[in-house]
Every structure is written in structure tokens, then in C-alpha cells.
Amino acid sequence: MKISVCQINTIVGDIKSNKSRILEGYKKGVNDNADLVVFPELALLGYPPLDLIEKKEFRNAVIKAADEIAEQTQETGLLFGSITEDNDLIGTDVHNSALLCFNGKIQFVQNKTLIPNYDVFDEMRYFDPAKSVDIFEFKGEKLGISICEDIWNDADYWCIRRYSDDPVNRLIKKGATILLNISASPYAYRKRGDRMKMLSVLTKGNHIPLIYVCYVGGQTELIFDGASMCFSSNGELVKMGKLFKEDYFIFDTNQNYPKIETVERCFEEEIIDAITFGLKEYCKKIGFKKVLIGLSGGIDSAIVTYFAVQALGKENVNVIMMPSNYSSDGSIKDSEKLVNNLCVTAKVIPIQPLFENALDNLKPIFNDAPENIAEENLQARIRGLYLMAVSNKFDYLLLATGNKSELAMGYCTLYGDMSGGLSVIGDLYKSEIYSLVKYINKGEEIIPNEIINKEPSAELKENQKDQDTLPPYDFLDKVLKMYLEDNKECEEIKSILGNDKDICRILDIVDKYEYKRRQAAPVLRVSTKAFGYGRRYPIVQGWRKN
């Protein structure tokens, strides 16, 4: 069977545009004499649609558009993701569906069976599971159609499975000769490699070809990397879609193709592409043409500026330097060097006059109380005030520059350096930032070495260094990764890293500052557990007091 794979980038809720993209891809497949043209999961409405699904008017518009698409089909089949409704008055009555259309109508519907409810997935809130799975005979083949999660439960690959049901195995037992899976699987580093291994085991063990069609694009904090995969019946990956780009290609099950051995690159290449793509998508889809960054002279704001230039072009990146009496001469010079290297527009607004004026105004309230973190945070909030004012005045998207280590430890100021519409590096630990910057500089010095080599500092008081408050980042990041991404607790971490007294203190601090993260900007997700709606942790809790 000759199958056109359409790896498209849709916009959640933009039914008119998404419909047009589906029809455009279908016509291309028809012109290429394809037997079947395939699109990703929920391609007609975008993924994830979240509470839009709860609007009856929205659902009616999607279903109407699906019928209109079907009416334009010919003998060539069209398979795409949408929704369907039933009226059994049990559950939500809404299904995440794969629609197979040809000869002017929807001929077959396969609903999603395994409805995920973990990490960033909350589909049980919106969708009912399929009541049955069936094959469909089309052009001499028996199609086994499934949707995303349905294929992530193969007993031959997973030691521990999330579900007792295996819908793909049921399709195989019913005689499927080709497997088709339409997917919207968010990106995380190394997930593509896991995906390839899992699908290879499935196809090799069952001697059946598989077409796995992935969504590509950015949807707020979620990044979808594309990389649609086609496997031969002997388990070899033989076709793969582009990374972080739309793509269209033909897979013919009757042809032999060379085996693809590698699907993932080094950490630095992957993350640079993912972050750049996610930032570009966010700006494009919510309508920001230019961005603004508070440039401190530190490594975090430097790499965010770099990502902004890569995503939007230097002409669309603006930075503001806001020195105080605590800012070192090096920070200003280093920032200026970065500005020259990246050719971005820069302005300088000293904050000391406003800081001193604010302290004078606060004297009657502060009385003679000794200086503490309030004075430090006041400086950060003045900077946030200036940045938000410029953002509002010129319609720039302000980018937050905090990293995952700082966000985890609450080493950030609400309404100060946490201000912004998107957190670009909030899913990258400080040690990972250093690794990325060294990679960026491997050909030429883009981010000044002075920025890389200096000790990290918020520069909010005399001779301040991050390590005065935080454990060394190499150690801290190991603890944080085990706690945040591996769900390990204090004693488990101690058994791996040693009985360090700082471990339990770190975990207590992470829990303490959950309230800050609940108010943070959306974080571009590149790991298996990012801060945001994929991590749901109580603000008020007393677990570690037991």
C-alpha cells in the first residue's frame, strides 16, 4: 500500500485553518497516486484542546468540519484525528477518534482506547474510551488503526504496563496486515529513541509494517518534534519525518528502503533545536513579533538572548541592562560584549535612583529594621517594573530567564525576575545551561567567556554569590533531578549520593516554594517532568514532617 504521511503543524481551536491544511495535504497525496493519506491525532482541532472540548458549539463546529472534509474525498483514503460524540449518557460522550474517509463520506471510525491521565496528559477529563477495536479492509489490506497511547502498552517491550488492555495486540489478533497509529506525543529528550525501540520491538515481533504519524509544533509549553516513523515488517525503521518541521513523504509497504539507525542527536543539539522551535512557535501562535529580555551579565539571560535571536532574528530581540550599585563593572562590559556579538538592540536603565527613592518612601514603614531579603527583592521588582512597562508600551513579549535549579529552590523573585510571558530555560538545570553554552561557543565565541567563567550571582547585595545560599550546582542538580523527575525521596537519594545533610534540606526548600512556581510563566518542556501543569504538587502540605 502506498501511504502519504502528512506531519502537519496545527493551531488548537483554529478549525478553519486546520481543515485547510488537511485538505491541502490530501490533494497532494491524491496527486501522488497514494492509496491512503494520514494525518496526526486530533489534527482537525489541534492538540491538546483542553477545556475547549467542553464547549458544545466548539464540538459541533469540529464535527461539521470533519463531515465537510469527508465530502471532498475520492477513492484515495484519508485518515485524520478528530472527535466524535455518542449519546449513551455515560461519561463525557466524547471520543478522541481516527476518521477514515473516502468516496465522499466517513467510512470508518476508530476511537482511542487507552485514555492517558498522567504528567501533561489529562484526557480522561474529556474523552471516553473506545467500546471496541476493529480492523477495516481497504484496498486489499486489513488496516489496524490506533491512536497514540494505544500503542504504548506492548507487553514485549514494557516490563510494567500502565494498562491491562492492549488494543494494538487485539488488532493484530483480528488479522491486521498494516498498523497505523496517529499520534500527538510531546517532546522530551531521549523520548524519540524510546519510541523507536518500542515500535521496532512491536513490528518485529508481529511481522507487520507500521506507520506512526506524529504531530509537529508548539502548543504553549509543549513541544512536538515530528519525526513520524515507518517500520518494515522485520522491525526496521525505514522512513522518518523531519525534526521540528512539517513534512510530507510517501511510504510504500511494497518497497524496500535502507534502514535508519540513528534517530536522536547529542543532548546539546536536541535541546537547542527544541527550545528555539518552542519559542518561535509560542511567539507565532499568540502573535508576538518581538521579544524583550532583561540582560544581567549572567549566563541565564545570555543564553535566553541567544535562543531569542535564533528563533526570531536579531532585529526582533531587544534587551535592557539595569545596573545598580551592586552590579559589577564586569557584568556591564560582559553584557555589552554579548550585545555586540548578537547584534541586538540594547538600552540601559540604571535602577539605583528609583531604588533609593523607594527605600526613602518605605522608611516610615520599615523603621529601623535591619536590611534583609526585602531590599534585595525590591531591586529585582524595580527591574521587573521597567521590563513590563517597556513590554506593554511596544507589545514585546517579555521572556523570563530563570533556570530549573533556581525555580526549584525558589531562588527567584515573584513580580521581579520571574516576570514574563514565557519561561524559556525553566526546564533546564544550571549545569545543563553551562553545557549548552559551551556547545554554542564551540565554533566561535558567541556568549562571552567572561560570562561563562564568572561565579553566578544575583548581584543584589555586596559580594553576593549564588553558592552563599545554594549548594554547588553540580550536586544540587543531581538531587533535584532525582526528586523532580525520578520521584525519589530523601532516603533513596542519600543511598545513591551519600548521607549528605543538605539533601533533605534541598527537598524541603523545593516544597516550600511551590507557591512561587504556581505563579510563574509557562515553561518550555524538554524533560520528562517540567514545572507547570504536568507537575501537580500541593502548595499546602506536611509530608516531610511525618
Residue of 381 and 459 predicted with greater confidence: 381
Task: Name the residue with cell 471516553.
Answer: 128
The pLDDT score that the predictor gives to residue 328 is: 76
**Interstrand relation of 178-183 and 141-147 (parallel, antiparallel or unpaired):** parallel
Between vectors from CA 515 to CA 514 and to CA 518, what angle results, nearest 5°?
Answer: 90
User: For residue 80, what is its C-alpha cell?
Assistant: 485524520
What mean pLDDT value characterizes the chain?
94
The pLDDT score that the predictor gives to residue 463 is: 66
> How far is Cα 155 from Cα 332, in angstroms, rounded to an integer?
58
Packing angle between helix 267-286 and helix 299-312, nearest 10 degrees?
60
**pTM for this model (two decimals):** 0.95
The pLDDT score that the predictor gives to residue 155 is: 76
Confidence of residue 462 (pLDDT cuts 50, 70, 90): confident
Q: Which of 476, 338, 500 is nearest to 404 (CA)?
A: 476
Residues known to be catalytic = 41, 112, 148
127-163 per-position pLDDT tens digit: 999 999 999 999 999 999 999 999 998 777 787 888 8
> How far is Cα 495 from Cα 220, in angstroms, rounded to an integer?
38
The pLDDT score that the predictor gives to residue 458 is: 65
> How far is Cα 198 from Cα 536, in angstroms, rounded to an integer?
28
The pLDDT score that the predictor gives to residue 455 is: 81
Average pLDDT over residues 525-536: 93
Confidence of residue 470 (pLDDT cuts 50, 70, 90): confident
Please, which residues have CB within 8 angstroms of residue 76's CB and are 6 or more apart in sequence?
26, 29, 30, 34, 35, 36, 37, 102
Q: State the virtual CA torsion across 227, 228, 229, 230 in degrees, nearest 10.
A: -150
> How far is Cα 419 from Cα 400, in angstroms, rounded to an integer?
6
The pLDDT score that the predictor gives to residue 494 is: 94
Q: What domains are there in the chain, each with its CATH number?
A: 2-264 (3.60.110.10), 270-470+513-545 (3.40.50.620)
Residues above pLDDT 90, as percent of the chain: 88
Q: Which long-range contacts link 350-356 to residues 24+ away (Cβ below 8 Å)?
A: 350/322, 350/323, 350/324, 351/322, 351/323, 351/324, 351/379, 351/382, 351/383, 351/386, 352/323, 352/324, 352/325, 354/382, 355/324, 355/379, 355/382
> How far is Cα 418 from Cα 300, in angstroms, rounded to an integer?
13
Residues above pLDDT 70, as percent of the chain: 99
6-57 per-position pLDDT tens digit: 999 999 999 999 999 999 999 999 999 999 999 999 999 999 999 999 999 9
- SS3 sequence of 43-69: CCCCCCCHHHHHCHHHHHHHHHHHHHH
The pLDDT score that the predictor gives to residue 133 is: 97
Average pLDDT over residues 345-369: 95
The pLDDT score that the predictor gives to residue 153 is: 85
Please, which residues have CB within 8 angstroms of residue 160's CB and are 6 or more apart in sequence?
none
Average pLDDT over residues 114-131: 94
Average pLDDT over residues 356-384: 94
The pLDDT score that the predictor gives to residue 459 is: 63
Please, which residues have CB within 8 angstroms of residue 427's CB and are 6 or more apart in sequence?
404, 523, 524, 525, 526, 527, 530, 531
